[in-house]
Amino acid sequence: MSMPTQQYVKTETVGRIGRIRLDRTARYNALNRTMVREIVEAMETFDRDDRVTVIVLTGNGKSFSAGADIEEMLEATPISMELLDPFADWDRISRIKKPIIAGVHGFVLGGGFELALACDLIYADPATQFGFPEVGLGVMPGAGGTQRLTKCIGRTRALEWLFTGDRMQADEAERLGIINRVTTDVEATVLAMAERLSNQPSMALRLIKDAANKAVDLSLQDGMEHERRNFYLLFATADQTEGMQAFLEKRPPIFNQQEQE
Ligand code: CAA
């Protein structure tokens, strides 16, 4: 499956892992519109590729990302924003069905933090600094930061970070449950996790992600009904037969065999 042209990201497929590296290092991977489009298109290409089970997103150079490109936004007006609708591309990340693992280091600020929060699992280097400095620019997060952080850590705690723009250290992000883990070798950790997930049944991963996402938006009852439908659907997969048969035969299951044929 061919990738669209890329200027600000690098992509490769390693086994069943689709890798995306941000690559605008001279600007701390500040996210201009073209770069966001390239990230989204790379994710969508991997999402459609049957050989890929899991997507890994990492930074490059000194950082994951210092946020949206401030220079690009300086001359913006409400009308230019409305016409360009720069955040429409960000919405497409929410529709990626495969697991996305973010490995972050250095600065994870503003839109960079929002990008990490749009992923499913986040692993961070101990020296990583997270934050929403938008208030210091006279604006606010616009790509999901106020919503995702609040849903993740609660309103009063989120508001302190959003009002002050203070930087959050990696261990605090871990304590608050914003990231999965601090690790001294981000690259090895994300690849090991991606490798593990790539051996899990791909349709189960997809429907687990879908159900967990619904938990954020739906009432408990509606969410449970959605979960049940996904559960029933998995009984149409060869991996369900393989997983249960392997258990009864006391052997490890081998998933995704149909896709590998
Ligand atoms: N946009 C555009 N350019 C940026 C940038 C950004 N977000 N972040 C860094 N750069 C550029 C700098 O302008 C500088 O360019 P030049 O070499 O041409 O001068 C280069 O990257 C290196 O940056 P610094 O010289 O500032 O490096 P530093 O080590 O002193 O500081 C930093 C690093 C703390 C990350 C600092 O650059 C910084 O504070 N960046 C801005 C962070 C920020 O405010 N992010 C929020 C953006 S708004 C947003 O994201 C809205 C949204 O919700 C989508």
CA of 63 to the centre of ligand 1 (A): 11
202 CA to centre of ligand 1 in angstroms = 38
What is residue 261's predicted lDDT score, i.e. its pLDDT?
47
Report pLDDT for 259.
62
Place of tokens 């250095």: 106
pLDDT at 95: 97
Comparing C-alpha atoms, which of 31, 48, 172 is closest to residue 112? 31
- The yes-or-no answer on residue 114 being catalytic is yes
> Strand, helix or coil at 36?
helix
> Which of 18, 106, 111, 131 is labelled catalytic?
111
Q: Which of 33, 70, 161, 167 to mutate to test the pocket of ligand 1 (most atoms within 8 A of CB)?
A: 70
d(CA 223, CA 225): 5
Q: Give 52 Cα–ligand 1 centroid separation in angstroms.
A: 33
Q: Which of 25, 27, 71 to mutate to test the pocket of ligand 1 (most atoms within 8 A of CB)?
A: 27
Residues with CB under 6 A from ligand 1: 27-28, 30, 66-71, 107, 109-111, 114, 133-134, 137, 141-143, 145
Cβ burial of 260 (10 Å; 0-12, 13-18, 19+) is exposed
Computed on alpha carbons and rounded to an integer, the radius of gyration of the chain in Å comes to 19
List the residue whose alpha carbon is closest to atom 12 of ligand 1: 27
Largest CA distance in the chain: 66
Question: Which structure tokens are listed for 234?
Answer: 């998995």
Residues with Cβ within 8 Å of 258's Cβ and at least 6 positions away in sequence, in order, are 238
Determine the Cα–Cα distance for residues 255 and 106; give it in Å rounded to an integer.
Answer: 36
Residue minimizing CA distance to atom 40 of ligand 1: 66
Phi/psi of residue 13, nearest 5 degrees: -110, 125
Which residues contact residue 240 at a Cβ distance below 8 angstroms, ignoring those fewer than 6 apart?
A: 201, 234
| Burial label, 138 (beta-carbon count in 10 A; 0-12, 13-18, 19+) | exposed
**Pairing of β 167-169 and β 129-131:** antiparallel
Cα–Cα distance list, 51 to 69, 168, 169 (Å)? 33, 37, 36
Is 194 a catalytic site residue?
A: no
pLDDT confidence of residue 5: 83
pLDDT at position 260, please? 53
Determine whether 150 is exposed, middle or buried from the number of CB atoms within 10 Å of its CB (0-12, 13-18, 19+): middle
The pLDDT of residue 136 is 98
pTM, 2 dp: 0.97
Q: How far apart are CA 53 and CA 164, in angstroms?
A: 39
User: What does each of the 261 residues of the chain score in pLDDT, given as a tens digit?
Assistant: 688 889 999 999 999 999 999 999 999 999 999 999 999 999 999 999 999 999 999 999 999 999 999 999 999 999 999 999 999 999 999 999 999 999 999 999 999 999 999 999 999 999 999 999 999 999 999 999 999 999 999 999 999 999 999 999 999 999 999 999 999 999 999 999 999 999 999 999 999 999 999 999 999 999 999 999 999 999 999 999 999 999 999 999 999 987 654
Residues ≥6 apart with Cβ < 8 Å to 198: 15, 16, 17, 53, 54
Separation of alpha carbons 201 and 205, rounded Å:
6
Catalytic residue among 30, 66, 68, 194: 68
Q: How far is Cα 239 from Cα 53, in angstroms, rounded to an integer?
A: 14
50-103 pLDDT, tens digit per residue, is 999 999 999 999 999 999 999 999 999 999 999 999 999 999 999 999 999 999
pLDDT at position 29: 98
